[in-house]
Amino acid sequence: MNTLEAIKARRAVKLYDAAHRMTDDEIGDLLSLAMFSPTAFNIQHWRFVVVKDPELRRQIRAAAWDQAQVTDASLLIVLCADLKAWEKQPERYWANASKEVQDYLIPAIDEYYRGKEHVQRDEAMRSCGIAAQTLMLAAKAMGYDSCPMDGFDFDQVAKLIKLPDDHVIALFVAIGKAIQPAKPRGGQLSREEVVFTDTF
């Protein structure tokens, strides 16, 4: 499936074949593709918690209002971000760049983020959203369906996955084999209502 087809065919699927298992290679491919997602200053601050333990999946399902896709999808990924990645050896993010580029960007990273908690969090959410879409489109291209999720108790899930204090959870992505087609789209706004030229 090409990218344009995947964009049109991707839907949020809720019901999955609980017996289906993805291969380690498929999971590895999906995560590798997600890691091509862009991040500001290339700080790559997304963190992908792949929840494999069945009991932990059951506990997360309880914290997610008993939504079946948490346990029944082949793969559950909790997308998180390290809010302080910008100050953790930032030279790593530009290790292959010229010294001139490094000398410019590494101080710029510090200047952009230091003391700006709202910027750190905003960037985390943007980056995780982009990575989630990459995961979902890649999954569709591989013959799988997916569901982005924010319907859960964030604090409870943070405890269950032992989230570090300087990290934040953005959303879940459940991926697997659908057991029934997605319902018809609920309704799309017109392009005229959502697209503007130059100004509102």
Domain boundaries, the chain: 3-179
What pLDDT is attached to residue 182?
A: 84
Tens digit of each residue's pLDDT (9 = 90 or more) over 9-68: 899 999 999 999 999 999 999 999 999 999 999 999 999 999 999 999 999 999 999 999
Q: Region 158-179: what's the mean pLDDT?
A: 98
- 1 pLDDT exceeds 80? no
Letter string b/e over residues 100-131, b meaning 16 or more CB atoms within 10 A of that residue's CB: eebeebbeebeebbeeeeeebeebbeebbbeb
pTM of the full predicted structure?
A: 0.94
User: Are the C-beta atoms of residues 14 and 183 closer than 8 Å to each other?
Assistant: no
CB-neighbour burial class of residue 44 (10 A; exposed 0-12, middle 13-18, buried 19+): middle
What pLDDT is attached to residue 58?
A: 98
- 185 pLDDT exceeds 90? no
Query: What is the topology classification, in CATH, of domain 3-179?
Result: NADH Oxidase (3.40.109)
